[in-house]
Amino acid sequence: MSIQQILVVMLYTLKPYLWLLGVAILLLLVSFVLGRKKRGPQSAMIWPVSGALGFAAALAAPMLTGSQLAYVVTTTDWLALMAVGIGAALYAYLLLRPLWRKR
């Protein structure tokens, strides 16, 4: 299978979810625009809240895909689940950081 064929399959797989990616990017842009007015140190609660949201996303991911957490048994499954959690935590951090300034 060539690289072009792999990219075509990936793009067709991604196509139904492009609107969700657009909403996520729009939320980040709105957060950055609203946070530009706030200056000062960031709140100490950003990291724990982001971590909790990432953990919740990792626990909810199997259910959202029609699976169960009991079916996550192989190393690849656990790594994918950790990637979901880390990605959700980083997104939550980027979303909350501009808004949770002390001033």
pLDDT in tens, 38-90: 887 888 899 999 999 999 999 999 998 888 888 888 999 999 999 999 999 99
pLDDT at residue 49, as a whole number: 96
SS3 state at 102: coil
Q: Where do the structural domains in the chain lie, given as residue ranges?
A: 3-96
Residue 95 CA from chain centroid, whole number: 10
Mean pLDDT of 11-24: 93
Residues present in the chain in total: 103
Residue 102 has pLDDT above 80, yes or no: no
